[in-house]
Structure formats: structure tokens, C-alpha cells
Amino acid sequence: MLSLSINDVKAFMAKLLKGNDFDAFELHGLTVHNFAVFEMHKHPAEAAPSWCLARNYAFEMIKGSVPPKYIKLVLARLNGDVHMFLNIIFEDGKINITSGMSQKSFSLDRSALQNWNEYILKFLNDKNISVANNLI
């Protein structure tokens, strides 16, 4: 598991909500707390939508003159029976990202999670997203 803090919140949100940097991910969940609570979740019987299809809806929930109090975004990738997640949480003006993985079958092999964490770090670096490590 990775736990990262985003150093430049404004630049990150622009990449996330206005750019195409995260378009290859699937959206598994979005919660926004502003004047009301808005939620979007993957329908259990449907394939998850790509972030590029859901991004405009998310932007509409988030935009406004006052920043939301809280945002939780769950992006994912699926590789066979392995689900790899990227949890993005905005709270108190800060953004924290955690990575995770779940798989259908039990295994002591943690190489898939290690590869996912390495991919996330490289992805953020390639997109010029500056982070601080909280925990690895």
C-alpha cells in the first residue's frame, strides 16, 4: 500500500478534472460533500465506466465558488481476478492518495501490489504530479 500527499492541490485537481491524465482508469466511486452529498458508484451488474466518461459529471458536482468540504474518488484497473485501486481523498484543503489491491483468490505473493505501487509512482512522476510519501 502507498500513502501519498499531493504537494500542489490546484494543479492536481486540474489534471484530474480537466485533463486526460487519468482517463485510462475506471470509476468505481465518487463522493462529494458540498451543500449536499453527491455520490456516484459503479453499478454492480454493469462494467465500470472509464474516468473519461464520468469526469464531466464529477466536475459538475465539484465546481463552484466554494471548494467542497470533502471528495473521495475511487479509480481502478482490473487485471484478471486482481482489482487495483487508487483512492483519492480531498479534505481540509489537502489531497491524500492511497493505493490498494484485492484479488479473488488468496495468495501470499505480494508482487502484484508491489508492481501496482511502482506503476502509480511512475505514473504520477510521468504526469509531473509532485507527492510526498506518507507510508510505504
Q: For residue 13, is it left (φ>0), alpha (ψ between -120 and 50) or beta?
A: alpha
Q: What is the pLDDT of residues 89-124, one digit of tens each?
A: 999 999 999 999 988 777 777 788 899 999 999 999
Percentage of the chain exceeding pLDDT 90? 60
How far, in Å, CA of 83 to CA of 29, rounded?
Answer: 14
Strands (DSSP E) found in the chain: 3-6, 26-33, 37-41, 70-79, 82-91, 94-103, 131-135
- Label residue 19 by pLDDT band (50, 70, 90): very high
Contact by Cβ (8 Å): 97, 131: yes
pLDDT over 90 (residue 71): yes
Q: What is the pLDDT of residues 123-135, one digit of tens each?
A: 999 999 999 986 5
Q: Write the DSSP string, 15-27.
A: HHHTSSTTTTSEE
